[in-house]
């Protein structure tokens, strides 16, 4: 198993996670779709990059209508991605490199092509009927949905099926019917599926929309709310306060049960990270209560999405850190997420500015918590605006007709996209046609992104001040510095005239490390830097931030310092 250097914190609290969207990482067959054998050829790259855990978006059997988030067999691999033997080899090869592997579990819903759903819809008496949520419609002839519940993506989440003259519930898109976890057989089957993968060596799971597992049994209508667009902080959107469909109280007991399944396994410990949009109080509740100095009894981690759209300024980031520390102090652990397969890539929210991207990364990899890096983030892949006409993303297709209107309303600053294809373009390995993702004469499932000829692994390997090297240096530093992977976190006060500076201290035993981030377009100099300090890292290679009695930071420069004994 992976080699443990320090045993102070469980491995999953110290780790760094890299997300692979399998369809877009590396195609080994030339069919334009990434696959498992392709990923295996790139594991050395990831090991060398210095990430410690790899999370795979789903590659289980699926009609791929939502590119794997619509599963039709949880215990098999979609043929376009490979075979079960490839999957076993992937797990083995990752472990051989002392890294960990996380799969993506879509417990909330299946594909409508899953044999369970095909059976369920056959008749009201079918043994699988109650595996999904079926109800009579309202009003004349049941022609209206059972209640006012809206799906996450808009419109009623109820879908009429004339075979049995009833409606089924789908929290996401219509082809993703929700499983009914009030049926004990469903829960048993899915918990056994989790065990199936744990037995094959999987070290953890990312849990897709785990906050929508249960809905109100009485089907009470969701109350009205004055809010149209969803946000990360609450359940309100589309003029509904979705208290009966999102973050239902029964979810909290469910995640604890799931946690106890994970706790059946040890050496190494396995972990869960939940995809949840909610207030800090609710997010913390999903993690359960403290059971000892290192552990709680719910989800090990939840994604904290508050950082996704955070402006790169000191007060915003200081507030976020302080909130994370307030709510997720030990034994809770924050997470640091800036991009994923549903979001606009972070660098594009920073104006595709490399200097800012390096600063952002310095924060992500030095703050207390588990960082989640999205493939291509380490080379600064831009978000690629693709035409809606050729969209493959089912969410984009749903909004196809009023897409332009929404874009005009919302996308003025480039921070909103309805087409998730934009952030899923092929990994950029080199400057050849198709960016080395697939052969030059193949057609990739999505075109290579903007400026792939210069923004790619091969080019950035050869440039010492590339973003890739910045990630590599920071990941290495974090791994070798206990204060960074396991230390406490404390935001330092700055004088009023230095408010664009964000500084924090990480401590572990006698080691003290400080992170200084200049979040402004002007240089900043402080005169309070006395004592012996050594520079561990700088986002700018040729600068001299440590002066005799001061610290001088260029615009948007970030540095990491170690304070020598007696100087803290």
Catalytic annotation, residues: 208, 264
Composition of the chain by helix, strand, coil, percent to 5: 30, 20, 50
Q: Which is nearer to ligand NOJ, 34 or 436 (CB)?
A: 34
179 binds ligand NOJ (CB under 6 A): no
398 binds ligand NOJ (CB under 6 A): no
Task: Please state the φ and ψ torsions of residue 144, each to the nearest 5 degrees.
Answer: -120, 145
341 binds ligand NOJ (CB under 6 A): yes
Q: Which residue in 69, 271, 286, 471 binds ligand NOJ (CB under 6 A)?
A: 69
Whole-number Å distance between alpha carbons of 192 and 404: 44
> Residue-wise over 73-103: b if at least 16 C-beta within 10 A, else e?
bbeebbebbbeeebbeebbebbbebebbbbb
**β-strands 60-61, 501-508 pairing:** unpaired
Q: Which is nearer to ligand NOJ, 396 or 501 (CB)?
A: 396
Shortest Å distance, C-beta 274 to ligand NOJ: 11
Q: Are 362 and 539 in contact (CB under 8 A)?
A: yes
Q: Which is nearer to ligand NOJ, 106 or 198 (CB)?
A: 106
421 binds ligand NOJ (CB under 6 A): no
Q: Which residue is nearest to ligand NOJ (CB)?
A: 69
Residues 274-313 that bind ligand NOJ (CB under 6 A): 275
Q: Which residue in 77, 99, 186, 209 binds ligand NOJ (CB under 6 A)?
A: 209
Whole-number Å distance between alpha carbons of 523 and 456: 30
Torsion of CA 45, 48, 52, 56, to 10 degrees: -10
Q: Which is nearer to ligand NOJ, 69 or 167 (CB)?
A: 69
Burial of 340 (C-beta count, 10 Å sphere; 0-12/13-18/19+): buried
Shortest Å distance, C-beta 509 to ligand NOJ: 38
Shortest Å distance, C-beta 70 to ligand NOJ: 7
Q: In three state form, how does the secondary structure of 41-81 look?
A: HCHHHHHHHCCCEEEECCCEECCCCCCCCCCCEEEEECCCC
- The alpha-helical segments, DSSP class H, found in 97-228 are 115-120, 184-199
Which residues make beta-bridge pairs with 372? Answer: 17, 337
Shortest Å distance, C-beta 158 to ligand NOJ: 17
121 binds ligand NOJ (CB under 6 A): no
Shortest Å distance, C-beta 111 to ligand NOJ: 10
106 binds ligand NOJ (CB under 6 A): yes
Shortest Å distance, C-beta 377 to ligand NOJ: 16
CA angle 482, 272, 245 (to 5 degrees): 135
Q: Which is nearer to ligand NOJ, 208 or 505 (CB)?
A: 208
116 Cβ contact partners less than 8 Å away, ≥ 6 residues apart: 110, 128, 131, 132
Shortest Å distance, C-beta 177 to ligand NOJ: 12
Q: Which is nearer to ligand NOJ, 423 or 512 (CB)?
A: 423
Residue with tokens 């050829």: 41
208 binds ligand NOJ (CB under 6 A): yes
Q: Which is nearer to ligand NOJ, 57 or 514 (CB)?
A: 57
Shortest Å distance, C-beta 215 to ligand NOJ: 16
CA angle 339, 340, 344 (to 5 degrees): 60
Whole-number Å distance between alpha carbons of 68 and 420: 14
Site string for ligand NOJ, 224-263 (x = CB under 6 A): ----------------------------------------
Shortest Å distance, C-beta 149 to ligand NOJ: 17
Shortest Å distance, C-beta 172 to ligand NOJ: 4
Q: Which is nearer to ligand NOJ, 69 or 338 (CB)?
A: 69
Q: Are 25 and 76 in contact (CB under 8 A)?
A: no
Whole-number Å distance between alpha carbons of 398 and 419: 10
Nearest to 46 by CA among 446, 377, 274: 377
Q: Which residue in 130, 161, 342, 458 binds ligand NOJ (CB under 6 A)?
A: 342
Using CB under 6 A as the binding criterion, the count of chain residues that bind ligand NOJ stands at 9
Q: Which two tokens stand for residue 528?
A: 């309070």
Q: Which is nearer to ligand NOJ, 105 or 524 (CB)?
A: 105
Nearest to 317 by CA among 534, 563, 482, 515: 515
Q: Which residue in 35, 66, 234, 325 binds ligand NOJ (CB under 6 A)?
A: 66
Q: Which residue in 74, 172, 197, 452 binds ligand NOJ (CB under 6 A)?
A: 172
Q: Are 245 and 212 in contact (CB under 8 A)?
A: yes
Q: Which is nearer to ligand NOJ, 259 or 398 (CB)?
A: 398
Site string for ligand NOJ, 447-486 (x = CB under 6 A): ----------------------------------------
493 Cβ contact partners less than 8 Å away, ≥ 6 residues apart: none
What residues make contact with ligand NOJ under the rule CB under 6 A?
Answer: 66, 69, 106, 172, 208-209, 275, 341-342
């Amino acid at each position: 198993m992976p080699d443990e250097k320090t045993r102070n914190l469980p491995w999953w609290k110290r780790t760094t996670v890299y997300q692979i969207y399998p369809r877009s990482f590396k195609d080994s067959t030339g069919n334009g779709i990434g696959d498992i054998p392709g990923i295996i050829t790139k594991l050395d790259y990831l090991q060398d990059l210095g990430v410690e855990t790899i999370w795979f978006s789903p590659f289980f059997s699926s009609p791929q209508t939502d590119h794997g988030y619509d599963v039709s067999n949880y215990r098999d691999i979609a043929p376009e991605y490979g075979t079960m033997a490839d999957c076993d080899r992937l797990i083995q090869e990752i472990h051989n490199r002392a890294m960990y592997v996380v799969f993506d579990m879509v417990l909330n819903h299946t594909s409508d092509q899953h044999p369970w759903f095909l059976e369920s819809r056959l008749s009201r008496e079918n043994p699988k009927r109650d595996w999904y949520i079926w109800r009579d419609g309202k009003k004349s002839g049941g022609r209206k949905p059972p209640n006012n519940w809206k799906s996450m993506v808009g419109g009623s989440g109820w879908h009429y099926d004339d075979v049995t003259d009833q409606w089924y519930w789908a929290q996401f898109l219509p082809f993703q019917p929700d499983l009914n976890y009030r049926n004990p057989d469903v829960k048993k089957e899915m918990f056994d599926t989790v065990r199936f993968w744990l037995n094959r060596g999987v070290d953890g799971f990312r849990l897709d929309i785990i906050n929508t597992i249960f809905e109100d049994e009485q089907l009470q209508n969701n109350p009205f709310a004055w809010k149209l667009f969803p946000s990360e902080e609450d359940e309100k959107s589309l003029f509904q306060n979705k208290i009966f469909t999102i973050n239902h109280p029964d979810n909290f007991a469910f995640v604890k049960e799931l946690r106890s399944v994970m706790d059946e396994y040890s050496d190494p410990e396995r972990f869960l990270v939940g995809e949840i949009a909610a207030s800090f109080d609710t997010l913390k509740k999903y993690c359960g209560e403290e059971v000892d100095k290192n552990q709680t009894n719910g989800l090990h981690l939840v994604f904290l999405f508050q950082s996704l759209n955070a402006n790169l300024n000191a007060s915003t980031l200081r507030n976020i850190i302080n909130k994370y520390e307030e709510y997720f102090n030990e034994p809770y652990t924050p997470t640091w997420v800036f991009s994923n397969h549903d979001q606009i890539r972070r660098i594009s929210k920073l104006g595709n500015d490399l200097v800012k991207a390096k600063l952002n990364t310095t924060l992500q990899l030095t703050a207390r918590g588990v960082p989640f890096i999205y493939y291509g983030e380490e080379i600064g892949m831009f978000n690629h605006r693709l035409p809606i006409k050729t969209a493959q993303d089912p969410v984009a297709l749903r909004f196809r007709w009023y897409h332009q209107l929404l874009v005009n309303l919302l996308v003025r600053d480039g921070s909103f996209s309805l087409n998730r294809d934009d952030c899923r373009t092929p990994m950029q390995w080199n400057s050849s046609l198709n960016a080395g993702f697939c052969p030059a004469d193949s057609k990739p499932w999505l075109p290579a992104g903007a400026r792939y000829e210069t923004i790619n692994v091969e080019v950035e390997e050869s440039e010492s001040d590339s973003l890739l090297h910045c990630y590599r240096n920071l990941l290495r530093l974090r791994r070798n510095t206990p204060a960074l992977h396991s230390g406490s976190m404390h935001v330092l006060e700055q004088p009023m005239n230095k408010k664009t500076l964000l500084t924090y201290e990480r401590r572990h035993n006698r080691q003290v490390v400080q992170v200084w981030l200049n979040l402004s377009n002007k240089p900043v100099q402080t005169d309070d830097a006395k004592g012996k300090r050594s520079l561990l890292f700088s986002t700018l290679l040729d600068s001299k931030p440590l002066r005799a009695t001061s610290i001088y930071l260029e615009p948007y420069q970030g540095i990491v310092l170690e304070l020598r004994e007696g100087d803290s």
